[in-house]
Chain A
Amino acid sequence: MNESDKDFEAFLDGKHALNAEYRRASDDASEPVPMDRKRSIHQAAAASVQGKNLAYYLSRFFTGVRRHPGLTGALLVLVIAVPLVPRPVDETLPGDALESARAPVVARLKTQTPAMERAEDSYAQLSSPAPAEPDAIAAENQLLKMGKAQHGKQAMEAASAADNPAAPHSWSGYRRLNSEQILAAYANVRDDAQVQDGQGGSAVNHWYADGRFTSEWQSPAGRGKLTGSWYVKDNLRCLTIKTGMPELEGKERCGPVYTKDSLYYSSNKAGSIHGIHTLSPLSVN
């Protein structure tokens, strides 16, 4: 602890009485959150939980599988047995026509097997972060395969997503900034950024109105500092790194900027989210 810190600690030590008095006063003066506000907040939270995605339902399904293996076995029997039950022949389609309608679907499923296995991994990652016993994992994979056979369209969509992991983000509901708006938003601001692609990480960036920027970043790969310049062009925010990343120094990189709910979003080349940015005034002291 340096002298400045010691002095400050000593300064604060002399303020205990004032601190205690303030906390008492704050408790006395505090008012509860109005009930209508509280209700609105909880209703919104409940609605967001109800709007779950496929990952959530898969997660819940496989949790049930692990907890009720007997029931799962019974369901498996049903799922396996039902397709084997002879079905009434579709009299509208002759046998050859039925077979020729099936053939391309079967062929497509066979050629997309590697992608399906990658999709399988994606589903497994989405299902639950907790490690599962080997038997349960095997059961999950078996069910996934059964599910794909039964739901070819879903499987093909999953395979497509697995082949293109940086699928574009849906920017519906976001507002894209034009050049003027980018300049206004980024002039003299501190940018607390959460990186969403690659290995993730975070950064604290300073964007100056005179066109300079600095960045202190950290990720699982390490940490570092960058400097450079930024500007706008064709409704894109561009930057050129001057120091800190030799492989990118001097190269112009441009991208669109979106905003929603007072947060700002940068996009990578694939159109998915690169960073989520919280901007605040840059104090110059």
Chain B
Amino acid sequence: MSHLQGASDTDVLLAWQQGNASAFSELYARYEAPLYRYFRRQLNNPPADDVFQELWMRLIASARQFRAESSLKTWLYQIAHNMVIDSWRSERRHDEVKTDTDADSLPGSQHNPEQLDASREQSQALIAAVAALPFEQREAFVLKEEAGFSLEEIAQITGTSRETVKSRLRYAFGKLRSQMEVI
């Protein structure tokens, strides 16, 4: 498997398509953490765990159909984005999260006041602030900060324009900045 560690996503996927089982392990290792975080920032648990597993099941089922001309990372996140939307629609939580101010119920936030020191409280507050952002702004922020996508890639994943992504990021950063100043 070591010869795959420096290989491109496309090469690793091609190796897997040709029957190299360890290539999947390499692919999974690359995207496990960022994708899981993406889902945890966008959804509560257990839906996040379910959707995360479902994403990999879909990738396993459709890997042979992936064309090497596309970016695997963008492809994965496009599917992830669609799944988050599907999950929102099925649970009808989209509007609830926008207005819900209870940090314990927000995606990605776990709050246990008895055990927090000041720095951790700050960190938890920032995570909660991100979770309280409107869906589109939070997604743009997470895709940029967690997954490292460019504006163009975020626009492609979310089906919007580059200018829209910039606008959403401006609002997101602005809100986070003002909330952290308050805290």
Contact = CB atoms under 8 A, between A and B. Distances in A.
Contact of B78 (A12, A26, A42, A278): A278
Contacts of A31: 40
Contacts of A201: 69
Nearest to A282: B159
Contact of A24 (B37, B123, B159): B123
A284 to B, nearest CB: 10
B65 interface: yes
Nearest to A273: B65
A21 B39 CA distance: 20
A283 B159 contact: yes
A42 B25 contact: yes
B154 to A, nearest CB: 12
Nearest to B141: A22
B5 interface: no
Given A29-B108, A278-B82, A285 B164 contact: yes
B58 interface: yes
Given A11-B170, A262-B83, A280-B82, A28 B123 contact: yes
A8 B174 CA distance: 13
A138 interface: no
Contacts of A25: 122-124, 126-127
Given A28-B123, A46-B21, A283-B159, A33 B70 contact: no
A194 B65 contact: yes
A204 B156 CA distance: 9
Nearest to B176: A18
Contacts of A18: 173, 176-177, 180
Contacts of A42: 24-25, 28
Interface residues of A, number: 55
B53 A37 contact: yes
Interface string B160-174: 110110100110010
Interface in B40-74: 40, 49, 52-53, 56-58, 60-63, 65-67, 69-70
B6 interface: no
Given A263-B62, A280-B159, A192 B18 contact: no
Given A33-B32, A42-B25, A280-B81, A26 B37 contact: yes
Interface stretch (A48-56, A72-80, A85-93): A48-56
Interface string A14-36: 01001101111110111101100
Interface in A94-135: 129
B146 interface: yes
Interface string A257-280: 000111100000000010010111
Contacts of A235: none
A72 to B, nearest CB: 21
A160 interface: no
Contacts of B81: 280
A202 B78 CA distance: 14
Interface string A173-212: 0000000000000000010101010001110100000000
Contact of B82 (A4, A15, A279): A279
B57 A23 contact: no
A281 interface: yes
A71 interface: no
